[in-house]
């Protein structure tokens, strides 16, 4: 097991140099890096950042499994999401504040919809009820953008996940919240969320993530051909906003690989934009 994202501790362990300093690590990485001026895809991006050995150990297998696509066919930003650090910070992302909602996401969403003005209808196909819904002001659409337009320009590819949950009669089943398996097993990662929630309980639950081509859309697939198709849908979406007050917001409606914090920011920005528009009317 190695710490990931790659940091000084990973480099010490991987290259068997327990005393490696940050300066030596930089020199070592510099000697490993492939000189690619403008990385055009995820493979080139990682090779130019950390070299082939680390690419093959940590990125290649995982990316093939996660996307069913070679890293050279994915945008640089996919593997570029993951930081590489020359210090001993082992956290996944760089943000100063790293929190989850105090009472969890379920409670957060429950509170968001707990208002007499909000009617929730679940288990329905939006298309079937679309004609019955006459918005007084506007619509915010958060589903897949290609589906909204009945796939008239073709289907955007999405990646899905299948989760398996396994209960274990153990306080903790793994030493940290997430383990990625770059080169073994059909699942990409196991997550033991108890490390985050800090529940005290003699049992624990581990989730196993199996990437899938079919199923609910979870991820847009960032690569040029998909971006081109999305850009065509975006023109339709912009017209729809202008003519019918339909606002497209979120990972599915904007075909963008937003993180949770980014998607919340995006939602708030969309809200503020709408608020401004209507306050000035």
* Residue closer to ligand UDP, measured from CB, 68 or 135: 68
In whole angstroms, the minimum distance from the beta carbon of 182 to ligand UDP comes to: 5
**Helices marked H in 55-112 — which ranges?**
61-67, 76-80, 105-112
Token digits of residue 147: 């589906």
Q: Could you tell me the smallest distance in angstroms from the CB atom of residue 34 to ligand UDP? A: 17
Shortest CB 188 distance to ligand UDP, Å = 8
Closer residue to ligand UDP in complex, CB, 213/235:
213
- Name which of 90, 76, 87, 86 is nearest 28 in CA terms: 86
Name the residue among 73, 280, 62, 277 with its Cα closest to residue 189. 62
| Tokens coding 263 | 């998607």
Compare residues 81 and 227 and give the one whose CB is closer to ligand UDP.
81
Q: How many CB atoms lie within 10 A of CB 267?
A: 16
Query: Which 3 state secondary structure label does DSSP give 160?
Result: strand
What is the arrangement of strands in the sheet containing 219-220, beginning at the earlier edge strand?
178-180, 189-191, 204-212, 158-168, 219-220
Measured from the CB of residue 126, what is the shortest distance to ligand UDP in angstroms?
Answer: 25
Quick one: 237 or 252, whose CB is closer to ligand UDP?
252
Alpha-carbon distance of 101 to 107, in angstroms, equals 8
* Identity of the residue, 58 or 233, whose beta carbon is nearer to ligand UDP in the bound complex: 58
Q: At closest approach, how far in Å is the CB of 193 from ligand UDP?
A: 13
Q: Which two tokens stand for residue 100?
A: 């989850």
User: Given the rule CB under 6 A, which residues bind ligand UDP?
Assistant: 4, 58-59, 62-63, 66, 78-79, 81-82, 180, 182
């Amino acid at each position: 097991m190695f710490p990931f994202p790659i940091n000084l501790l990973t480099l010490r362990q991987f290259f068997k140099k327990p005393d490696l300093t940050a300066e030596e690590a930089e020199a070592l990485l510099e000697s490993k890096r492939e000189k690619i001026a403008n990385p055009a895809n995820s493979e080139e991006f990682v090779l130019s950042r950390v070299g082939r050995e680390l690419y093959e150990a940590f990125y290649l297998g995982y990316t093939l499994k996660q996307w069913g696509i070679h890293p050279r066919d994915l945008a640089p930003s996919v593997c570029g999401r993951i930081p590489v650090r020359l210090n001993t910070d082992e956290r996944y992302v760089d943000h100063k504040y790293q929190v989850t909602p105090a009472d969890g996401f379920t409670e957060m969403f429950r509170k968001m919809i707990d208002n007499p003005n909000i009617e929730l209808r679940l288990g329905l196909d939006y298309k079937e009820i679309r004609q019955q819904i006459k918005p007084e002001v506007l619509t915010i659409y958060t589903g897949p953008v290609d589906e909204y337009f009945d796939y008239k320009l073709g289907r955007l590819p999405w990646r899905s996940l299948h989760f398996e949950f396994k209960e274990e009669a153990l306080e903790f089943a793994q030493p940290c919240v997430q383990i990625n398996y770059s080169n073994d097993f059909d699942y990409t990662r196991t997550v033991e969320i108890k490390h985050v929630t800090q529940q005290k309980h003699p049992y624990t639950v581990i989730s196993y993530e199996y990437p899938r081509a079919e199923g609910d859309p979870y991820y847009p697939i960032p690569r040029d051909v998909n971006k081109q198709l999305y850009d065509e849908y975006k023109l339709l979406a912009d017209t729809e906003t202008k003519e019918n007050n339909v606002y497209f917001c979120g990972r599915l409606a904007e075909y963008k690989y937003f993180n949770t914090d980014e998607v919340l920011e995006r939602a708030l920005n969309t809200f503020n934009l709408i608020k401004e528009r209507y306050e000035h009317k």
